[in-house]
Amino acid sequence: MPNSPDLLIAGGGPAGLATAIAAACQGLSVVVTDSHRPSIDKACGEGLMPSAVEALARLGVHPDTTEHTPFRGVRFLDATAPCASAQGLFRSAPGIGIRRTRLHQLLLNRAHSLGVRFHWQTTVHAVENTDDGFIVAHTTAGLFRPRYLAGADGLHSRIRSLIGLEQIPYGRSRIGIRQHYAVVPHTDLVEVYWSPHGQAYVTPISASELCVAFVYRSRPSTRDHLSLFPALEARLCRATPIGVTRGAITLTRSLRQVTRGNIALVGDASGSVDAITGDGLALCFQQALALVQSISVDDLSSYQQAHARISRRPRLMSHLLLLMDRYPALCARVLRAFSRRPSLFPDLLSLHSGEEPLRLLGSGGLLASLLCLLSF
Ligand SMILES: Cc1cc2nc3c(=O)[nH]c(=O)nc-3n(C[C@H](O)[C@H](O)[C@H](O)COP(=O)(O)OP(=O)(O)OC[C@H]3O[C@@H](n4cnc5c(N)ncnc54)[C@H](O)[C@@H]3O)c2cc1C
């Protein structure tokens, strides 16, 4: 029945499309609705961590068919004193920088090839779990009666409020502004410039383009974002800003529960981590795979557990990194400590990217080394 798919997905962003692909790969019939129509753009740093690239490969999505740039690791720099910097390389595979619209098209192509059906400019405005184990979803394109519903409608999820799932915010939300520059990338790392105003994340996304995401605790005093990051301004003095400047909110928050009956939340709708982690897209793809695994065994409680496990590391990392954002004096000391002990940052990057187990933070003495360096 066209209006009774196995899975109805509200939201055709990265989380919704990844869920649709994973479900279609399992032979489920899938319908996706989105309030917008392609191509869907969004303010983003446009960096996929190695774990995101790996999850994409499991979904059968291969970035080789579109323009993108691999990056080998991450470098932190003090935006006011560029000599204070630290860098680490990924030990296993590189990450990739890719324009958000190209990533969206890539996911869309894969979903189309698997027979996923789409209703664009369509919103879900009421949902209910019925006694016979189905869902009734009222949408602007008519009534649907799917077996499962996935809410993949982002940070301000309507599905989340319709089913009354509560959020636990951590700290304040921050403002992100994305700008592309036409310039040959000067690096094959993602660079994060730290200033007392916030951070600028620089990602090479093609042979002739950089993406810069500026992220602030409060509205910046100027639209000349580069002037707040002198070291980056010096780097990009010959670069031309191109395309549309976009803004979005970013925040870290979690939900006690991400399922209700046969309805599950996925991606930013199910809790989020601050953009500073670079992990938002990896979470979307990993959660999508976990959700479909649970649907295929008809047991959403296993998704609840998998979701908690997948989110644990990025959430911890975001708490640690946001301390550096909140206390600029601490941030300057941490960057100096990284410069003094060059092996420290690569070790922390391995923890962040999941190449090493989290317990090494304590038992491997990493935290102790950092605290010891900070006390000088
Ligand atoms: C400044 C910034 C920089 C970032 N940088 C990175 C980075 O470098 N790497 C990384 O991995 N992550 C990054 N992130 C996080 C990443 O962008 C998000 O985690 C990711 O976009 C979440 O995808 P999603 O599909 O859950 O939500 P979204 O991308 O928000 O997609 C939600 C979709 O739902 C649709 N929708 C919304 N409401 C409705 C409705 N009522 N009905 C139907 N459809 C609806 C929207 O049109 C949209 O298509 C960044 C975020 C910000 C703000």
**From the CA of 354, how far away is ligand 1's center (Å)?**
22
In DSSP terms, which residues pair with 272 in a beta bridge? 253
| Ligand 1 atom nearest to 279, measured from its CA | 11
Q: For ligand 1, is residue 250 a contact (CB within 6 Å)? A: yes
Cβ contact 150:264 at 8 Å? yes
213 lines ligand 1 (CB under 6 A): yes
Placement of tokens 């420290």 in the chain: 344
Quickly list DSSP for 168-202.
EEEEEEEEEEEEEEES--S-SEEEEEEETTEEEEE
CA dihedral for 316, 275, 174, 320, sign (positive or negative) = positive
Q: Are 215 and 221 in contact (CB under 8 A)?
A: no
Which residues on neighbouring strands pair with residue 174, listed in sequence order? 250
* Domain spanning 7-62+98-170+253-317, CATH architecture: 3-Layer(bba) Sandwich (3.50)
Residues of the chain with CATH 3.30.9.100: 69-94+172-251
Tokens of 320: 């640690």
Cβ proximity of 168 and 254 under 8 Å: yes
DSSP state of 272: B
pLDDT tens string 177-227: 999 999 999 999 999 999 999 999 999 999 999 999 999 999 998 889 999
Contact criterion met (CB below 8 Å) for 222 and 228: yes
Given this structure, which CATH class describes domain 69-94+172-251? alpha beta
Atom 2 in ligand 1: which residue has the minimum CA distance?
44
Tens-digit pLDDT profile for residues 12-69: 999 999 999 999 999 999 999 999 999 899 999 999 999 999 999 999 999 999 999 9
Q: What is the C-alpha radius of gyration for the chain, rounded to an integer number of angstroms?
A: 21
Cα–Cα distance measured from residue 372 to residue 302, given in angstroms and rounded to the nearest whole number: 41
Supply the residue whose CA is at minimum distance from atom 39 of ligand 1. 153
Output the CA 200–ligand 1 centroid distance in Å: 19
Which residue type is seen at 224? D
Q: Where in the chain is the domain with CATH 3.50.50.60?
A: 7-62+98-170+253-317
Cα–Cα separations (whole angstroms), residue 54 to 16, 82, 172, 276 = 18, 33, 31, 20
Q: Cα separation of 341 and 373, whole Å?
A: 8
Ligand 1 binding pocket includes 151 (Cβ within 6 Å): no
Give distance in angstroms: CA of 363 to centre of ligand 1.
35
**Closest atom, ligand 1, to C-alpha of 211:** 8
Exposure string (b/e) for 176-189, b if CB count within 10 Å is 16 or more?
Answer: bbbbbbebebebeb
Residues of the chain short of pLDDT 50, as ranges, are none
Conformation bin of residue 31: beta by default, left when phi > 0, alpha when psi is -120 to 50: beta
- Regarding the beta carbon of 35 and ligand 1, being less than 6 Å apart is answered yes
Residue having the nearest C-alpha atom to atom 4 of ligand 1: 44
Answer for the pair 161, 308: CB distance below 8 angstroms, yes or no: no
Ligand 1 atom closest to the Cα of residue 176 is 1
Of the candidates 288, 306, 370, the one whose C-alpha atom is nearest the C-alpha of residue 336 is 370
